[in-house]
Structure 1
Amino acid sequence: MRRVSKENNMAERKNVEELTYKEASTELELIIRSLESGDMELEESLESYTRGVELLKSLRGRLADAEQKVSVLLQDVDGTDQLVPGEPASDADALNL
């Protein structure tokens, strides 16, 4: 028996890169909850885990891009174009099961 919402099923049909950041993070959260429930069959669990890894990689990449853009925006006010390095994204959000 599959306990996944309609929104999650619709999002799964999209390529990960076509999802907005919010859609991807919401889908990842739903996948984690489903995996933690233990109600899925093995094959479905593996498929969900694989999708979760893809989502996590995409979200991390998007955060890294955003951090780079913020660094570029933090230029020195006198126009010398000095970049201020941002903090690297934490990898503490790893999908551990």
Structure 2
Amino acid sequence: MSKSGKAVEAAPEPYGEVVARLEEMVAKLESGSLSLEESLKAFEEGIRLVRKGEKLLNEAEQRIEQLLVDEEGRDGVAPLAAGNRPALAAAPRAPAANKAPAEDDVPF
């Protein structure tokens, strides 16, 4: 707590730093050089980092959704939802020349 009696809020950790710390934890665990107790502590820290990274990604996703609302208050695009991310649209394919439709392509 600060002298004014209010808790000092720490600035959010950048996502890149969270990922870098998580990669360090994974490397330590994979090295096999840690004791069981050290491995458990590293694993626990890794879980905290994963949760922190997910929180930062969710916050970024919410900010993006807010930016995609047009002037009239309508959604410009479908909102992003975890596990329901829109796939990139594939470029339309040109029909193959002189190719007969396969039996599976016949609608009846």
Question: What interval of TM-score do these two structures reach, taking the shorter chain for normalisation?
Answer: 0.5 to 0.7
2:43 pairs with 12, 30, 49, which one?
49
Counterpart position of 1:13 = none
| Bigger radius of gyration | 2
Count of aligned residue pairs for this structure pair: 72
Higher helix share: 1
1:25/1:59 contact within 8 Å kept: yes
Letter in 2 for 1:33: A
d(CA) in 1 for partners of 2:12 and 2:39?
23
2:23 to 11, 26, 29: 29
**1:74 maps to what in 2?**
68
SS in 1 for 2:23: helix
- Identity within the alignment, %: 33
Query: Runs of 4+ in structure 1 displaced over 4 angstroms?
Result: none
Q: Residue in 1 aligned with 2:104? A: none
Q: TM-score, normalised by structure 1?
A: 0.66
Distance 1:61 1:44, change over 3 A: same
Q: Which amino acid aligns with 2:72?
A: T
- 1:19 aligned counterpart, secondary structure: coil
Q: Is 2:53 the partner of 1:59?
A: yes
From 53, 71, 82, give the equivalent of 1:88: 82
- Unpaired runs of 5+ residues, structure 1, are 1-16, 91-97
